[in-house]
Amino acid sequence: MEDLYHWRAQGFYSLKFRINNVRNDKVWDFTKIWVMNRMRWENSLMSYEEDIKNRGFGDWVKAHTSGFKPLHRYEGIFEFTEEEITFGGMDTRLVKEFHLEIPLREILDIYYGFDEVFKGREERAWPWNKPLRIKYKINDEVKTIYLFVHFYHKKWIRTSDNKEVYEELKEILRK
């Protein structure tokens, strides 16, 4: 593991690795792509706070149907560096490209789990698949986004890399 962190610090690797936890027989597959100190996750989902508050019944039904994804509006790639986070992809409602950049110095709060806006009842796999909330300030306005970073199905259960990203972001924001 030391070699992995050494390479990560240099920022020049693409890595897929598997960890076998012998204590409880769990297997985790991680895909991280670092290019020039940029960490990147594909198949990520995002919503603004307003999207969650103003969701329609059809959105709720999709979020609770097995084959569909959690409640979201944007699909794309989530990336972060030691200076900013970005989300680029598609606005699924307006069917057009979308790009968001948030400097890390503008982030007010990060939280992993459900809250008063994105409640557990909004997500079919609520015990396992929790959103990542990021509050930030832009032009004297506070905005909130909810993410499912690298959304996927594992043994028919919806999940994401949110906990891992939360830990990574916490570490970078401490610096």
Length of the chain: 175
Query: Which residues have C-beta within 8 Å of that of residue 55, sequence separation ≥ 6?
Result: 71, 122
Look up residue 120 and give its amino acid.
G
Q: Which two tokens stand for residue 35?
A: 């290019």
Residue 167 has pLDDT above 90, yes or no: yes
User: What is the pLDDT at residue 68?
Assistant: 66
Look up residue 166 and give its amino acid.
Y
Domain count for the chain: 2
CATH code (residue 139): 2.30.29.30
pTM: 0.71
Nearest Cα to Cα of residue 138 among 84, 96, 80, 81 = 84
Range(s) of the domain holding residue 44: 39-174
- Are 152 and 168 part of one and the same domain? yes
- Are 54 and 97 part of one and the same domain? yes
When pLDDT is averaged across residues 84-108 and rounded to a whole number, the result is 95
Q: Which two tokens stand for residue 59?
A: 């959105």
- Are 16 and 63 part of one and the same domain? no
Phi, psi of 145 (to 5 degrees): -120, 150
Query: Which residues have C-beta within 8 Å of that of residue 141, sequence separation ≥ 6?
Result: none
- Are 26 and 72 part of one and the same domain? no
User: What is the pLDDT at residue 129?
Assistant: 72
- Are 99 and 51 part of one and the same domain? yes
- Are 95 and 122 part of one and the same domain? yes
- Are 67 and 97 part of one and the same domain? yes
**pLDDT of 19-37, one tens digit each?**
443 444 444 444 454 445 7
Residue 91's DSSP bridge partners are 74, 96
How many helices (H) and strands (E) are present in the chain, helices listed first?
4, 11
User: What is the pLDDT at residue 118?
Assistant: 62
Question: Do 4 and 15 form a contact (C-beta atoms < 8 A)?
Answer: yes
User: What is the pLDDT at residue 119?
Assistant: 60
- Are 32 and 45 part of one and the same domain? no
- Are 5 and 73 part of one and the same domain? no
Residue of higher predicted confidence among 93 and 154: 93
- Are 1 and 12 part of one and the same domain? yes
- Are 32 and 87 part of one and the same domain? no
When pLDDT is averaged across residues 84-90 and rounded to a whole number, the result is 96
User: What is the pLDDT at residue 116?
Assistant: 74
